[in-house]
Amino acid sequence: MNSTFRTAVLALGLLASPHLQAQKAATTSTANDPKMNQFIDELMKKMTLEEKIGQLNLVSVGFDVTGPVVSKDVDAKIRKGLVGGVLNTYTPVAARKLQEMAVKESRLHIPLILGYDVIHGHRTIFPIPLGLAASWDLAAMERSAHIAGQEAAADGVNWVYSPMVDIARDPRWGRVAEGAGEDPYLGSRIAEAMVRGYQGTDLTNPSNVMACLKHFALYGAAEAGRDYNTTDMSLTRMYNEYLPPYKAAVEAGIGSVMSSFNDINGTPATGNKWLMTDLLRNQWGFKGFVATDYTAINELIPHGLGDEKQVSAIALTAGIDMDMVGEVFLKNLAQNLKEGTVKQTDIDLACRRILEGKYKLGLFKDPYHGVSEKRAKATLMKPEFIEAARDISRRSMVLLKNDKNTLPLKKSGTIAVVGPLADRSRDMIGNWSGAGEGKQAISILQGLKNVAGNGVKFTYAQGANVTDDEQMIARLNAHGGELAIDKRAPEAMIQEAVQAAQAADVIVAVVGESQGMTGEAASRADISLPGRQLDLLKALKKLGKPLVIVLVNGRPLTLPWENQNADAILESWFGGTQAGNAVADVLFGAYNPAGKLTMTFPQVVGQVPIYYNHRNTGRPFAGEQLDKYKSRYLDVTNDPLYPFGYGLSYSKFTYSKPEVSKATLRTGDTQEVKVTVQNTGNYDGEEVVQLYIRDMVGSITRPVQELKGFQKVMLKKGESRTLTFRLTPDDLKFYNADLKFVSEPGAFQVMVGGNSRDVQQASFTLE
């Protein structure tokens, strides 16, 4: 962070005084654990400068067909104590091989920390995080993280690069698939649940793993939705809208943090002392260690911060502890120290934080963390994990449309299953699927057959390639896309699908994206259905039969024709190992869908960024079509296709008008907001009841809506229940222009409903 900005922030009172900063710097890494401190003090007294720098070095060791590939250089460095951790290696055999090298053949026998991208499952794969978030089921999300952690731990991994909590409002950005969507309140609650799931209450427990918060910070605000791109935002937006989920994860006790690739106020995160030291450690009190993302220190050079030796010093003094893959610290820190661009205390502090992380994991007592082939065999993909994957996948699905009760389907007659993703098991597990095997996943076609029973006849046709763009196909297949492209003319494929559907009673069209079209380095400027998939749907529509669309995708898509013309639309995301069975459970009514969107779906890509909790303008558009001089488009309304919090059910839920317990809320009081919800449909079902507020007058502009609570309730057919939400003045606080966290007296609206659009209001005053 440039000195001018740090000075400005200091003037706002956001940083501690220089004296207090120096005092905190000496203690910021050490928890109140005298035994740990003594152990690490004694160990560090024995370490050479080279060995201390070695602890800051995180290397990648991949696989070949026979097992772990350990290059001679890495092999030698581990023996010399020049490697602190390894990523991308798992299995008990591989983990033990590396760990034995460190603890038996290095001078001080310091164990390695073994990391891996366990994002939404390890071997048993759950829905992508954006799908998990759509369940609004914190217990289910925590359970998914705990299962993923148990499997990873049994497979030799003790450090996972999750959760990703970046607020994202631009669906062009491929990594929206990895996060919880656009809302800071929901994102914060999910961050806490995921940390609990991975870490438990005792990191030394062999079933638990250390989580890594990413990407710190603001990575989801990359301009133009383009991965790795720059970011720029005001401090009030940063503090009120983007930082809360990171802070929530820190307060939940997360053990490590990963720096993001983007810049913040002109300084890349990996070299940003304000971010990594002043904010993360001094303000928030984070006690763990910070690792970079892949080669992020090296990338400070093209960012324009200097040569390799300069960026080495910048990153360390900013507060980076571990260098992922780039080995910039290993090559340069000793020379930096000689030249006085870094201090010995900086190196010692970074080393100490890494050693503390290993101590907290219990690796000095058991470097192998209880890993064995027997344990792995008993843990990986065990039946209860597979069952959980199916259940959680069902919970993540969002019913976007269901005209004339087209769904659930009957278990009789003929169903035509068409589309490029209908029989694609690989795509079910999505991107960043860790050690998951696509061939072990259930395709949607197979799931339908599994669940339907003998009373249903199926016809099938692919109908279209997921894309006909040869360059994109080559790009996807170069990175595990496994796309076998049908070389027939698109018209011939569409005609085959039409023929397959002619005798059917209903058509289920499975369309969307291949897994490599979302995730890291997978931004899309056009977020409509790729290839000729829309042409396929239009041809099927002409048959006049009920058309059910099942979406397989990792981001909000633009679906104006689909919404207008399909009879039913089910958003299934990339649903994981049990995706096909879960989709079938929903389509045939064994599970009543209850998911709700956590990211707004635009009508057209030109509306992006579009999100529910925007601030008002001085000329808000209220729908008067001939009123030109308002904040609006000429060619499309401001409305989203599907708003935040939206999702249908096979049942119907009606809401009473919310009632507040106090017309005036005072300091120390609690406002109770009561609403009665009734299931007036024909099925038992769950509803996510959402509470929003609006601060009507503020010292700075305030959002038109802010989520402040939600309850997911099961209601039997005909059942009603009165729910109570509680608000205190603390829930009404925000960061003002001076970045002070305050609540301001004045008028408030409270809104309750089944999504952010369809709400009823009540009012109160904060005194």
Known catalytic residues? 293
Q: What are phi and psi of 103, to 5 degrees?
A: -85, -15
- In 3D space, the residue among 574, 572, 570, 554 whose CA is nearest the CA of residue 562 turns out to be 570
For residue 725, what are its two tokens?
A: 């939400």
DSSP state of 234: -
In the block, residue with structure tokens 């998914």: 144
For residue 559, what are its two tokens?
A: 């679906």
Calpha distance 456→506 (Å, rounded)? 11
Asked if 421 and 512 count as a contact pair (C-beta separation under 8 A), the reply is: yes
Calpha distance 292→324 (Å, rounded)? 6
In Å, what is the CA distance from 338 to each residue of 309, 342, 349, 742? 12, 8, 18, 47
Asked if 741 and 236 count as a contact pair (C-beta separation under 8 A), the reply is: no
For residue 252, what are its two tokens?
A: 């939940």
Q: What are phi and psi of 154, to 5 degrees?
A: -70, -20
Contact partners, residue 414, CB within 8 Å, separation at least 6 = 456, 457, 458, 459, 503, 504, 505
Alpha carbon dihedral 472, 474, 477, 479, in 10-degree steps, equals: -80
In the block, residue with structure tokens 């969002």: 398
Asked if 479 and 612 count as a contact pair (C-beta separation under 8 A), the reply is: no
Alpha helices, DSSP H only, in 421-545? 425-428, 444-452, 470-477, 490-502, 533-541
Calpha distance 665→671 (Å, rounded)? 7
SS3 content of the chain, % helix, strand, coil (to 5): 35, 20, 45
